[in-house]
Amino acid sequence: MIPVARPSIGEEELNEVKRVFNTGWLGMGSWVFEFENALKAFLGAKHAIAVNTGTSALHIALDSLGLKKGSKVIVPSFTFAATIQAIISCGAQPVFCDVDYGTLNMDIKDIKKKISPEVRVIMPVHYGGLPCDMDEILSVSRKNNIIVIEDAAHAFGSNYKNKKIGSFGDITCFSFDPIKNITCGEGGAVVLNDDTLANEIIKKRILGIDKDTWHRYRNERSWFYEVVCPGFRYHMSNINAAIGLVQLKKIGVFLEKRKEICRKYDAGLKGIKEIEISNRDYDTIASFNYVIKIKDNRRDGLMDYLKEKGIDSGIHYIPNHIQPAFKEFHCELAVTEDIFKKILSLPLYPDMEQSDVLRIIDAVKDYFKYD
C-alpha cells in the first residue's frame, strides 16, 4: 500500500537521538535551545518557542492573549479539528468563515462579514502550504484591533511575497508531527517578534515557572523555581528537538522532492475532465499535500478504486461546522460544503519513488477510462 503520507527519517536522526540518550538528559535542554535558534535563523524571526505539539502551539498562543469568555476567533471550518479545539480550550468561540474555491484558504469577503466587537483573533490556515492573502488579512485586523494567529501547520518553508511564513505578522504556529514538512516525531513552535508575548509564552509552556532557564538549557538541574502564572506542560524534549535539528538541515531536499512530485501529478492528470487540479506556484510554497477535486460525485468511487490498487488516499478535511462537538457554532458555508464533497488527497512525501507517482497517475486514468 502506498500511504498518503510518511515521515522521511533515517540514520542521521537516530544518531542524534543517541547523542541525547548518552547525556541522560531527555527533557527540555540544550538541543531544544539549539533547535529554537535554528528555527529563528531559518525563518528570520526574533522568537521561536518550541513546544510538544502544533495543537499546543495554537492553544498557548491564544492563551497568552488573555481571552475572556465569549471572545471570538474567526477561523475557517475547512481545517483539522485541532485548530478548533485550541480555540474552545481557551474558552473562546470559533466563528466559522468560508474559503475560496480555488485556493482553499479563507475568503476575505466572508472574514469582513464576520467581524464583530467580540472578535479578538483571526486565525488563517495556510491550507496545503499555500499562504493566505496575508496583506489583506493583516489590513483587516489592524483596522479592527484584532490579533492574527496563523495556523501554519502545513506551511513550514512556504514564502509569501518573498517573505517566509513566520517572519512577519503577529504570531505564527507550526506543527512538526510525523507527516509535516519536517518532523520532530511530535512537536510544534510558536514564532513571533513581540518580546512581551514571547516572555509570557515561554513561562506558560512549562507550568508558569519563571526561573533561570539557562540551567535547563545546559542540561543542569536547579532546585529553585517560582510559579508566576497559570501554565501548561507544553515544552519540547531534547529527543524531539534532536530529530528536528537533523530534519531542518534536510528541508531544502524535502521541498524539492515534494515540488517534483506535484509537478509530475499536474502533468500526468492534466486533461482528465472529471478532475480539477489546483494551480500552485511550487517554487514559492512548501506543498504539504496534493489535493484534487473530483466532479460528478465520483470522489468516493475513486477512493475505493485506488484502495483496490494498493493506493491510499484521504479527505483533508471534514469541515468542523458539521462536526457534532461544534454543532452550537454551525453556520451555512456553501463553498466549504461543496469542496468537502469533491476533495481528495493523493500520496505525497519525499521518499516516494517515481514509479509510485506513475502508478498512482495510471490508476486515476484507469478509473476514468483514459489511456
Q: What residues are labeled active site?
A: 180
Residue 266 C-alpha from the chain's centroid: 23
The owner of cell 506558560 is 204
Stretch (H or E) spanning 50 = strand 47-51
Is residue 297 a contact partner of residue 272, using CB atoms and an 8 Å limit? no
Q: Grid coordinates standing for 89?
A: 480550550
Short-list 84, 82, 80, CA closest to 96 = 84
DSSP code of residue 329: G
Q: Say how far apart CA 63 and CA 60 lie, in whole Å.
A: 5
- Is 337 exposed, middle or buried, given 0-12, 13-18 or 19+ CB atoms closer than 10 A? middle
Is residue 317 a contact partner of residue 351, using CB atoms and an 8 Å limit? no
Is residue 186 a contact partner of residue 239, using CB atoms and an 8 Å limit? no
- Gyration radius from the chain CA atoms: 21
User: In whole angstroms, how far apart are CA 93 and each of 58, 72, 103, 109, 191?
Assistant: 14, 5, 25, 20, 23
| Beta-strand relationship, 147-151 and 171-175 | parallel
Q: What are phi and psi of 163, to 5 degrees?
A: -125, 135
Q: Say how far apart CA 174 and CA 188 lie, in whole Å.
A: 5
Q: Grid coordinates standing for 310?
A: 494498493
